[in-house]
Amino acid sequence: MSPLNAAADIKSAVRAKALETGFDAVGFSPAAGGAELKSRLDKFLNLGRHAGMDWMAGNVEIRADPAKIFPAARSIIVLGLNYGPGDARPGRRAGAVSVYARGRNYHKVIKKKLIRLARWLADTYGAEARVFTDTAPVMEKPLAQRAGLGWQGKHTNLVSRQFGSWLFLGEVFTTLKIEPDRALEDLCGTCDACIRACPTGAITEPYRLDAGRCISYLTIEHKAAIDDGLAGRMGNRIFGCDDCLAACPWNKFAQPAAEKDFAPRPQTVNPELGPLLALDDAAYRETFAGTPLRRPGRDRFIRNVLVAAGNSGDKSLAEAVRASVNDPAALVRTAARWALEKLDG
């Protein structure tokens, strides 16, 4: 067998094994970085668009060059796992939870599959490997575009021709040499549906996101009180936001997730705001155990619920909101006063 055919067979075998492991999309990228990645990252950081996510400003050289994470790597296998939603529209008294957070924590689901694939590479080809999924200084979306999984749309998220906006990403850095796939071209065209859909104007121009205005950032990463002007535009979103993703026309090709661990849990689909406001720390941890909703902590989560209650216009929630005015956490008390002012007109 010629070396060319042998290389093609290895690539085909790796792709088949990745799909067998449960991934929905597979692509291959060189391990080397590029000046363009660093230039884009530097511009984003210099403009302060990362808001309070100071960790993004660390390890810039490593983020811009994947080879610095694992110098022995010769290839990067980029994997996608579909988390496409069914239909669940929250009512006025219910909180909206981002699609990605309604089931089991995706980090654990993807990492388990990545480790299985990495072990197979070691057993089959004697290749070393390192696995990553949103937990290391890896610029996943540019890598996914380079590997042919999709392209970064005007909302800055990945868009797939097959799965629309609903792909989790993970990577296996390996010493195995695999022919890279061709990068996909940008197919957004003149469409600006995602920009128009953003409630807070966080997409300041095509391909430019101001994280400090993004509802996903505000409800998950932001540690302080939410600016009144932004809070008033958050609606009933209590954890994350899917508006720019859901608006993408490429979602016409999307399909519901097949991964059972991503099936929505009752407590994450349209949860009533009133009972959520009664959660103390222990109840909060128990209610959302194993889901991404544990990330912000109880106080920030209740802050989000209070903002949603204030925006609901439902005066029957005023009693539950009023109880939070005396909460031990200053962050919760501030949000409760804001919500009461909104409900009282």
93-126, pLDDT tens digit by residue? 699 999 999 999 999 999 999 999 999 999 999 9
Say whether pLDDT at 47 is over 90: no
Say whether pLDDT at 190 is over 70: yes
* Average pLDDT, integer, range 53-58: 60
240-263, pLDDT tens digit by residue? 999 999 999 999 999 999 999 999
pLDDT confidence tier of residue 138, bands split at 50, 70 and 90: confident
Average pLDDT for the chain: 90
3-class SS string, 299-340? HHHHHHHHHHHHHHCCHHHHHHHHHHHHCCCHHHHHHHHHHH
Q: What is the pLDDT of residue 39?
A: 67
Nearest residue to 89 (alpha-carbon basis) of 259, 281, 235, 188: 235
Say whether pLDDT at 302 is over 90: yes
Measured in residues, the chain has a length of: 345
Say whether pLDDT at 268 is over 80: yes
Q: Which residue of the set 42, 54, 65, 134 is catalytic?
A: 134
Say whether pLDDT at 2 is over 50: no
Q: What is the pLDDT of residue 216?
A: 96
**Residue 134 falls in the annotated catalytic set:** yes
DSSP code of residue 277: H
Q: Which residues lie closer than 8 Å to 51 by C-beta, 6 or more apart?
A: 210, 211, 212, 217, 221, 222
Do the beta carbons of residue 175 and residue 73 sit within 8 Å? yes
Say whether pLDDT at 60 is over 80: no
pLDDT confidence tier of residue 90, bands split at 50, 70 and 90: very low
The amino acid at 86 = G
Percentage of the chain modeled with pLDDT above 90: 80
Query: Which of 38-47, 166-175, 261-270, 284-293 has the weakest average pLDDT?
Result: 38-47
Say whether pLDDT at 265 is over 80: yes
| 320-323 contact pairs (CB < 8 A, 24+) | 320/273, 320/274, 320/277, 320/278, 321/277, 323/277, 323/278
* Average pLDDT, integer, range 295-323: 96
Say whether pLDDT at 305 is over 90: yes
Q: What is the pLDDT of residue 4?
A: 46
* Average pLDDT, integer, range 187-199: 97
